[in-house]
Amino acid sequence: MIAKSIKRLGAGVLLCATLIGCNSTEQTAASKTESVAKSADENATQASGIFTNPLFPNGADPWLEYWDGNYYLTTTTWTSQLVMRKAPTLAGLADATPVNVWSSTDPDRCCNFWAFEFHRLKGPNGYRWYMMYTAGRDGTLDYQHLNVLESVGDDPMGPYQYKGALMPGIWNIDGNYLEHNGKLYVIYSQWRGDTQLNIIAEMENPWTLKEDQEHMVLTTPELDWEISGRKVTEGAEILQRNGRTFMTYSASFCNTPDYKLGLLELVGDDPMNRDHWKKFPEPVFTRTETVFGPGHNGFFTSPDGTEEWLVYHGNDSVEHGCSATRSLRAQKFTWNDAGEPEFGEPLTPGVEVAPPSGENGPLVTRVQGQRYQLMNSTSELCLDIAADPEDARAVQRQCAGTNGQWVLDSTTDGFVRLANREDSKFLEVANCSTADNARVQSAAWRNNYCQQWKVEAGIDGNVTLTNRYSGKPLAVAGCSASANQAVLQQNADSACTQWQLRPMGEVALMNQQSGKTLAMNGDNVEQQAFDYKDEQSWLFVPTDTGYLSLKQASDSEVCVGVSDNQVVPGANVAMVDCAEKTAQWRLTPKKGGGMMLFNRYTGLPLGLTNCGLAEGTNIAQQPDLSNRCQIFHLREPQ
């Protein structure tokens, strides 16, 4: 929803008026460290964000939002897992790590996941993300119906709690929300006889319909361009601007190249009155000689709120239909003098597209994600920004719960940006210098390599942080143990490049394979769908080195460990005495923002037994396969 997205942008994102620091093109290739040297052309490409359609294959039924400095994307999976990708650039979504944020094994809604949409709405506990998706039974499409999840906090990546099914007893798909005059509505699609309709109904809350109320038909396929292959209208999407409400919808059978977009406008005050909607007589987005079946769209705004964009799926051939050939595409659209959207025509594959305005900043925003402190192993002080608001230098300060908190936010190729939770800026090497002892500072995001870092396993449970542009690590000046000492870029021979990752506050550990969270069940450790249980919240407690213990409460005497101190793969993970030698773990960052947890004594990681999706799947220590069953995403169970 365009108007709402712009409003959210204004509240959550500040675009700076002046640049802070440097442009990544200021240094020549000859001056860069050989291991990460990038040519000037490569740096320009990275900063430009230019992309071509399709963004990636198998991207049917896309939904995309820009929120707090990142794009978030879902597409149909056809599986039992709900997949989300995120990246700070639109082009970056092409290679972003897919994270399963929800899965189900309930026989009535286990399978055939379609058309996920996530909307930020005000629920009973404040603003949350509501994920509406279609699912049904294994082996048939006859029982597809809408289900709703609610995010725990304000992070679209979850974790999510299952809230319910809107109409579990009848076939209904492609749900979308409409907010109008303080009321909430759902628009969904349903077959009646040989005709597929779009229907609207009022809601009590984001997962419950109002009782004993009418379900009104919004669109009936009756025009020639709506009945190619079959009589179909589906995939309704709301577009609001300047007090006007439009609704696009997908028309004709998706298995034909003539799948396309139609348009309605709400011209009265009552969305439940069919006479208050005007139907446009001609389609507004159709096939070309190179793009076929463009449809099932969504809308999003550019990072600076000045542009509106269309995201949709399409095919490259007339022979392709409702299959995995449908690929993800995006393009900017405009408005005509009458105040109506002008979508143009689908862009030809391979044509270069400039990125949405504002991608390269300068951007200041509070990025969503788990908060960490980074304690230097030599000084035992934490990475922070100088206390003086006029001083942007990175320094080390006493590790306290109110300062020095960072989000490790994924960019591309396994790198992250370090987002500061206090000033909502990002850690960079000043002037993109490649010199030893170069200043490190907090600055607005400008999408360059000197603001990106590789976080890798270090010594004795610690990690190192290496700048993407220079290839040099972060270290304390002179290895000093004094508070307020500068943190600088130094050479790899420095003795104080080791940092301990300390997750802050209560943490939920969401598995990348299942979307379910680590939970204590008696003395055992297993996975469970998140449901606000105390057993699903954990604390990471530092030990004598870079390792951590994982427990339910700070004063608890039992920790996550390996049963009977077994060293073999497959050994059960359970709650053990914190003094046991298998009760300590190190965090190892993985591409996409997840973490692997390696046991200090055995050297083996945690993982899901048999990569299972089922509720209660056991957790064990496993051989290091570095697969998604062994990767956990740390989330705040707010």
Which tokens sit at 376? 């230097």
What distance in Å separates the CA atoms of residue 465 and residue 476, rounded to the nearest whole number? 12
Which tokens sit at 450? 């000197």
Extract the runs of DSSP E, i.e. beta strands, from 354-432: 363-365, 371-376, 382-385, 394-397, 406-410, 416-420, 426-429
Q: Phi then psi for 565, rounded to 5 degrees?
A: 55, 35
Extract the runs of DSSP E, i.e. beta strands, from 111-268: 111-123, 126-136, 145-151, 160-165, 173-180, 183-192, 195-205, 208-209, 216-219, 231-241, 244-251, 260-266
- Active site annotation includes 61: yes
b/e sequence 478-502, b meaning 16+ C-beta within 10 Å = eebeeeebbbbbbeeebebbbbbbb
Which tokens sit at 293? 């079946």
Half-sphere exposure of 601 (CA within 13 A, CB side): 18
What distance in Å separates the CA atoms of residue 275 and residue 74, rounded to the nearest whole number? 34
DSSP 483-543: TTPBEEE--TT-S---EEEEE-SSBEEEETTTS-EEEEETTEEEEE---S-GGG-BEEEE-
Q: Is 181 exposed, middle or buried (0-12, 13-18, 19+ CB in 10 A)?
A: exposed
Paired sense of beta strands 231-241 and 244-251, if any: antiparallel
What distance in Å separates the CA atoms of residue 456 and residue 405, rounded to the nearest whole number? 19
Q: How does DSSP classify residue 5?
A: H
b/e sequence 188-215, b meaning 16+ C-beta within 10 Å = bbbbeeebbbbbbbbbebbbebeeeeeb
Measured in whole angstroms, the distance separating CA 402 from the mean position of its chain's CA atoms is 26
CB 451 within 8 A of CB 442: no
Q: Is 337 exposed, middle or buried (0-12, 13-18, 19+ CB in 10 A)?
A: exposed
What distance in Å separates the CA atoms of residue 317 and residue 13, rounded to the nearest whole number? 40
Residue whose pair of structure tokens reads 């979307």 in the numeric block: 515
Q: Phi then psi for 302, rounded to 5 degrees?
A: -70, 160
Can you name the residues that pair with 540 across neighbouring β-strands?
Answer: 550
What distance in Å separates the CA atoms of residue 253 and residue 295, rounded to the nearest whole number? 11
Q: How does DSSP classify residue 77?
A: -
Which tokens sit at 459? 């010594």
- Active site annotation includes 409: no
Distances in whole angstroms, Cα of residue 417 to Cα of each of 24, 29, 161, 362:
15, 22, 28, 14
Q: Which of 234, 258, 307, 359 is catalytic?
A: 234
Q: Return the active site residues.
A: 61, 234
